[in-house]
Amino acid sequence: MFHCRPRAAWYLIITILSLCSLSTAVALEPRAAAPPSPISFAPDQNWDGIDGPWSSFTLRVGTPAQYVRVFASTGSQQTWVVLPQACQNYPDREQCREARGDDFVVNASSTWNEIGNFHLWIGANLGLEGIATYGYDTVGLGMEGEGGPTLLNQTVGSYTSEDFFLGVFGLHPKPTNFSTFGEPSPSYMSNL
């Protein structure tokens, strides 16, 4: 049986810790470049929603840019925008457009590249559903001149469903798979 005096045990622990910190210090290398600056994306001064007032955010979608207000979503990795057809059955279409955060006219964008129609899956466990026409297009954060980044070929779903009254800006980093898992479309956050 091995017995240590308390003082000897402390010397042993300090020696081991010193060796560990020395080997760690030797293994660490300085960063190659400074980390990127954070991006600030402030909410609008609007309070939107049919279930209470919520802060919305402005996006620039398409070329030329069309401005839409959306809600941020941690459950989605995609950008969703409301189509003009969503307001066709309302007596006051302009009031409907304003209430839904404005609409996105797909054929007015020269950079729209259509993929096809797919289900809007977030909210399915709550009974919310809809179909969107997906495509790739330019998406920028904030109003023109606010300094928000603009990325090309981003996944955009355009829909008419009333279950999702305002559009969505997905904050989740996972990719979208339209056909196979071998060819995922990166999220806005991953591309950023």
Average of per-residue pLDDT across 160-184 = 87
DSSP 8-state class, residue 181:
T
With a cut of 60, say whether residue 172 has pLDDT above it: yes
Contact 67, 60 (CB under 8 A): yes
Report pTM.
0.79
Q: What does residue 24 show for φ and ψ, rounded to 5 degrees?
A: -70, -45
Q: Among candidates 133, 99, 91, which has minimal Cα distance to 116?
A: 133
Q: What angle do CA 176, 160, 146 make, to 5 degrees?
A: 65
Question: Confidence class of residue 20 from pLDDT cuts 50, 70 and 90?
Answer: low
How far apart are alpha carbons 75 and 160 in whole angstroms?
A: 20
Q: Record the tokens describing residue 105, joined without a space.
A: 């006219």
Q: What does residue 105 show for φ and ψ, rounded to 5 degrees?
A: -95, 105
